[in-house]
């Protein structure tokens, strides 16, 4: 079965201490999320998985940013999530060069308005190994949508982070209903 690793929003604005909306930065650091993401990227390369890094962001002018959105409405005001700017660069410790492709998304869900699904279909991917920040938003959104698109989904729990451990744990508990949840030490168990 063809597998793809999808790493979500490992970008400066979201998960680096200098990020403009980095509410998950401390939780990610405490959980060594970047180190685990690097392990996933290396494992994907060694096992011939497609590896995709996804970043949220908006083009200059923020025309695709919904002003009414509680999540994205103030991005322009804060200068956050500007594609091409330092905030949408991948975390400096992430081995992003190992990824086969980078997808830019204008919303929480990595399938919305992106070439992600055409790439997965073209590569005949049937299983997604998912991790990222934040567990409660980007990870949940992608996993739920992938499930409904009939992908087999695996979440690598310790390569994810949220605002707090409680938010993360609640999200993982929900995702167990539609995805297999593993730790980084269980990567070899993924078919």
Q: What is the pLDDT of residues 100-159, one digit of tens each?
A: 999 999 999 999 999 999 999 999 999 999 999 999 999 999 999 999 999 999 999 999
Whether residue 67 lies inside any domain: the answer is no
Whether residue 134 lies inside any domain: the answer is yes
Q: Which of 103, 129, 110 is nearest to 43 (CA)?
A: 129
Domains of the chain: total:
1
For residue 71, what pLDDT is reported? 87
CATH number at residue 104: 3.40.50.850
CB 131 within 8 A of CB 171: no
Token pair in block for residue 14: 């979201």
Q: Which domain holds residue 102?
A: 3-56+91-189
Token pair in block for residue 134: 């934040």
Whether residue 68 lies inside any domain: the answer is no
Tracing tokens 């590569």 back to the chain, one arrives at: 123
Whether residue 66 lies inside any domain: the answer is no
Confidence band, pLDDT 50/70/90 cuts, at residue 67: confident
Whether residue 84 lies inside any domain: the answer is no
Whether residue 37 lies inside any domain: the answer is yes
Q: Which of 61, 62, 7, 52 is nearest to 34 (CA)?
A: 7
Whether residue 108 lies inside any domain: the answer is yes
The upper half-sphere exposure of residue 171, i.e. CA atoms within 13 Å in the direction of its Cβ, equals: 27
Confidence band, pLDDT 50/70/90 cuts, at residue 78: confident
User: 73 pLDDT exceeds 90?
Assistant: no
Q: Which of 63, 54, 134, 165 is nearest to 102 (CA)?
A: 54
Whether residue 63 lies inside any domain: the answer is no
End-to-end CA distance of the chain: 7
């Amino acid at each position: 079965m063809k597998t793809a690793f999808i790493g979500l929003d490992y970008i400066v604005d979201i998960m680096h201490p200098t990020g403009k909306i980095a509410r998950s930065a401390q939780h990610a650091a405490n959980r060594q999320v970047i180190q685990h993401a690097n392990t996933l990227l290396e494992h994907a390369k060694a096992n011939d998985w497609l590896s995709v890094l996804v970043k949220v962001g908006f083009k200059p002018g923020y025309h695709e940013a919904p002003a009414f959105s509680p999540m994205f409405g103030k991005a322009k005001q804060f200068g956050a999530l500007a594609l091409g700017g330092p905030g949408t660069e991948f975390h400096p410790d992430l081995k992003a060069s190992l990824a086969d492709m980078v997808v830019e998304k204008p919303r929480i869900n990595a399938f919305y308005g992106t070439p992600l699904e055409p790439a997965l279909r073209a590569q005949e991917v049937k299983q997604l190994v998912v991790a990222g920040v934040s567990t409660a938003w980007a990870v949940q959104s992608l996993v739920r949508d992938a499930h409904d698109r009939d992908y087999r989904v695996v979440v690598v729990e310790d390569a994810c982070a949220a605002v707090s451990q409680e938010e993360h744990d609640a999200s993982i508990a929900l995702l167990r209903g539609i995805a297999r949840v593993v730790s980084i030490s269980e990567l070899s168990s993924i078919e």
